[in-house]
Structure 1
Amino acid sequence: MALTLYVDSTRWRAHHKHVLEQFPGIVPVCKGNGYGFGHERLAEEATRFGSDMLAVGTTYEAARIKDWFSGDLLVLTPFRRGEEPVPLPDRVIRSVSSVDGVRALVGARVMIEVMSSMKRHGVTRSDLQALGSAIDDVRLEGFAIHLPLDRTDGTDAVEEVIAWMDALRGARLPLHTMYVSHVKADELARLSQQFPQTKFRARIGTLLWLGDHEATQYRGTILDVTRVAKGERFGYRQQKATSDGWLVVAAGGTSHGVGLEAPKALHGVMPRAKGVARAGLATVNRNLSPFVHGGKQRWFAEPPHMQVSILFVPADAPEPQVGEELVAHLRHTTTQFDRIVEH
């Protein structure tokens, strides 16, 4: 009885193949919880399709995954002087976003991140002169630019990359490789055509591993079903049932990531109205669960427990059965499953 991740392996891998064909030289990204699959599993898949490099989030992730992947490991979090040292093999490449960081990594393999319109981290154009002398003491693997997902001002991602390419070229810095994040396949092709002497490599995680939503599905097993009458008290807080129905105990709780939700950027009147409605319902302890029964997402009867969730199913719905599996709409990046089943 578990929260299970079901994977249609044939379909999942067919999607990998499609993405690889669109983005030659792709660098698969495996960070966080491994996009819901785990680091080891994604390292195996990257090895399966012949990747020579795998990008991870932190040095700690690189240390854990190094025995599962034999190619180069690119650490995406930029190096900072004074960080805790983590023993890593020479095949690890460090991201650097400052001239000081470059100077502190004498002899290391480095990839230099430039400041994009994301304004998160990266060297600036005013740093380029100083950067020219600093790179003599490192093994430069290339430059990188991390672009925003949305461009609400109508600007062009390719033009932003081109502007940086021109700036780097003007500073006489080597442009043999440029790593890019959040570019489309046609944009990558445009860049490769305009700069034939530079190898562009797209760093991709979400699109590669989670791009085909029909290839994976979470399901939680029903562990117990208890009939309740309107007004009857239940649960930790002894709330009253609002109507006749069933209390359903489903596998999957806070330790799995159930009930965990990241803030969302809302655009437009309708999404904002729905957000206000959800917030209003939450104030009266009405929270929609990710579990589906009888074709509808069901309400939490009370906040999810550590390993299970208690749902309320009204009497006019099909009677839930112990052992039945409920589809759960969960975010891969915040979910920990009990088991994985491939079919």
Structure 2
Amino acid sequence: MSYRPTKATINLAAIKRNVENFREHGNGAEVIAVVKANGYGHGMLPVAEAALEAGAVMLAVGTPDEAVELRRQGVQADVLVLGATTADFIPYAQQENIIVTAISFDWIEQAQASFDAALPPLRVHLKVDTGMRRIGVHESEAVRAARLLEQSELTFVGIYTHFATADELESELFNEQVRRIKEVIGEFANSGLFVHVSNSAAALQHPELACDAVRVGIAMYGIPPSRDVQDLLPFPLYPALSLETAIVHVKRVAAGESISYGATYTAEQDEWIAALPIGYADGMLRGLQGQEVIVQGRRVPVIGRICMDQCLIRLPYEMKVGESVQLIGVQGEERIFIDEWAERLGTIPYEVPCILTQRVPRVYSESAVTENYSFQHRDAMIR
């Protein structure tokens, strides 16, 4: 129980609808639900369970510790670790049936050395670096790495890559990455390998690349990967996260008075201001000074520097303590999407839910999704 009115509400019905939409429009491809980084700040376990209920066939995480946590919470579905794993994790992965990623020849050698034949098989997906130049085997050596996996005691079951610029409308690098991965997977036609190359952006813009599955991360949470993709959505995305709090103090300040640290805001006239119990320790960073919130169905600005635990807003008139304030989400006819925060902070929408700290309680609901809080697909926008 929390004694503070600040909370993030996660609508699991939105998660499910987004997964269902990808399955319906995915050219027969399965959905891998990406739940890394605590489910992009939404809560890994509830999101994982909702995605699986909606038909996702696999979960993907960024670190081995996240896979361990899913198993500790009783999740028995297939889990793929997208990031690097160390040799000491191999026996645990075998025992708990966790799929790991082969990222280099050295990794294959170390995994083979750590493999315990007395335990269940170790399932492995090969990560092919086709241009991201992060982790993975270079495309020119991918076939050799795959043959090495086939000859090892490891169980080679899948192959994938990651696109660096799929969220752009036109990208030579994206086209080149597509060409490179097609060459690689062409070497394994009819091999039975589980192939997945598309992230959210590629799945939305290029359904022809779906292969066996698509990895749906940011879009599963109802957030478009970029403004370019947002303008060309093939189906609606329903944001799952709303952030709200309530007024805890109201006062009148006189013209010429300054407020908060650094006195960066000075009232030009007599004004009503209100304090909200949320600050940068909750993820409402100081860069959000000037961002608007919604109270009584109208937008009002955050004024003065945001403090660790509190921030201040300017009211159009006196309001009562306890008045509900929407920071992200819908109130009345007004809406604030996560990308509005991202633009204010000079970052990408992915980062916003991830910076909401654990001090903000996550409350889960199964409310009906509404068009009023959605990113509409291109046909609806044209109409």
141, 145, 149: which is aligned to 1:127? 141
SS in 1 for 2:68: helix
Q: Can you give the 5+ residue segments of structure 1 that lack an aligned partner in the other structure? A: 193-198, 262-285
SS in 2 for 1:146: coil
Quote the residue 1:324 is aligned against.
323
Matching of residues 210-225 of structure 1 within 5 Å: 210-211=222-223, 212-213=237-238, 216-225=241-250
CA distance in structure 2 between the partners assigned to 1:21 and 1:324 by the alignment: 41
With over 3 angstroms needed to count, the CA separation of the structure-2 counterparts of 1:129 and 1:160, relative to structure 1, is: closer
SS in 1 for 2:172: coil
Q: Which protein has the bigger helix share?
A: 2
Quote the residue 1:283 is aligned against.
none
CA distance in structure 2 between the partners assigned to 1:62 and 1:46 by the alignment: 16
Residues 20 and 55 in structure 2, CA contact (< 8 A), matched pair in contact too:
no
CA distance in structure 1 between the partners assigned to 2:258 and 2:205 by the alignment: 59
SS in 2 for 1:33: helix
Q: Which amino acid aligns with 2:354?
A: T
1:301 aligned onto 2:313: no
Instruction: Normalising by structure 2, report the TM-score.
Output: 0.69
1:206 aligned onto 2:218: yes
Q: CA deviation at 1:219?
A: 1.3
Q: Which amino acid aligns with 1:21?
A: E
- Deviation digits for residues 288-308 of structure 1, max 9, x if unmatched? 235334633413322232x32
Instruction: Normalising by structure 1, report the TM-score.
Output: 0.76
Q: CA deviation at 1:167?
A: 3.3
With over 3 angstroms needed to count, the CA separation of the structure-2 counterparts of 1:128 and 1:234, relative to structure 1, is: closer
CA distance in structure 1 between the partners assigned to 2:143 and 2:265 by the alignment: 69
CA distance in structure 2 between the partners assigned to 1:290 and 1:32 by the alignment: 27
Matching of residues 237-276 of structure 1 within 5 Å: 237=262, 241-243=266-268, 244-259=270-285
SS in 2 for 1:20: helix
Matching of residues 128-167 of structure 1 within 5 Å: 128=142, 130-131=144-145, 132-137=147-152, 138-148=154-164, 149-151=166-168, 154-155=171-172, 157=174, 160-167=177-184
CA distance in structure 2 between the partners assigned to 1:11 and 1:239 by the alignment: 39
191, 196, 209: which is aligned to 1:179? 196
Q: CA deviation at 1:119?
A: 2.2
Higher relative contact order structure (alpha carbons within 8 Å, sequence separation ≥ 6):
1
Q: CA deviation at 1:61?
A: 1.0
- Deviation digits for residues 77-118 of structure 1, max 9, x if unmatched? 12356x778944432111122111122112432111111232
Q: Which amino acid aligns with 2:178?
A: V
1:91 aligned onto 2:97: yes
Quote the residue 1:17 is aligned against.
20
Identical-residue share of aligned pairs (%): 21
Quote the residue 1:3 is aligned against.
6
339, 361, 374: which is aligned to 1:338? 361
CA distance in structure 2 between the partners assigned to 1:9 and 1:170 by the alignment: 40
With over 3 angstroms needed to count, the CA separation of the structure-2 counterparts of 1:221 and 1:228, relative to structure 1, is: same
Q: Which amino acid aligns with 1:55?
A: A
Quote the residue 1:40 is aligned against.
45
1:58 aligned onto 2:63: yes
With over 3 angstroms needed to count, the CA separation of the structure-2 counterparts of 1:129 and 1:5, relative to structure 1, is: closer
Q: Which amino acid aligns with 2:290?
A: L
Q: Which amino acid aligns with 1:302?
A: R
Residues 111 and 140 in structure 1, CA contact (< 8 A), matched pair in contact too:
yes
Q: Which amino acid aligns with 1:147?
A: F
With over 3 angstroms needed to count, the CA separation of the structure-2 counterparts of 1:207 and 1:173, relative to structure 1, is: same
SS in 2 for 1:77: coil
Q: How many correspondences in the alignment?
A: 307
Residues 94 and 110 in structure 1, CA contact (< 8 A), matched pair in contact too:
yes
With over 3 angstroms needed to count, the CA separation of the structure-2 counterparts of 1:322 and 1:341, relative to structure 1, is: farther
SS in 1 for 2:212: strand
Q: CA deviation at 1:26?
A: 0.8
SS in 1 for 2:38: coil
Q: Which amino acid aligns with 1:136?
A: Q
SS in 2 for 1:16: helix
Q: Which amino acid aligns with 1:209?
A: Y
SS in 2 for 1:184: helix
Q: CA deviation at 1:323?
A: 0.9
SS in 1 for 2:206: helix
Q: CA deviation at 1:215?
A: 5.1
Matching of residues 228-239 of structure 1 within 5 Å: 228-237=253-262
With over 3 angstroms needed to count, the CA separation of the structure-2 counterparts of 1:290 and 1:61, relative to structure 1, is: farther
Q: CA deviation at 1:185?
A: 5.2
| Greater mean deviation of Cα atoms: 214-223 or 50-59 | 214-223
SS in 2 for 1:288: coil
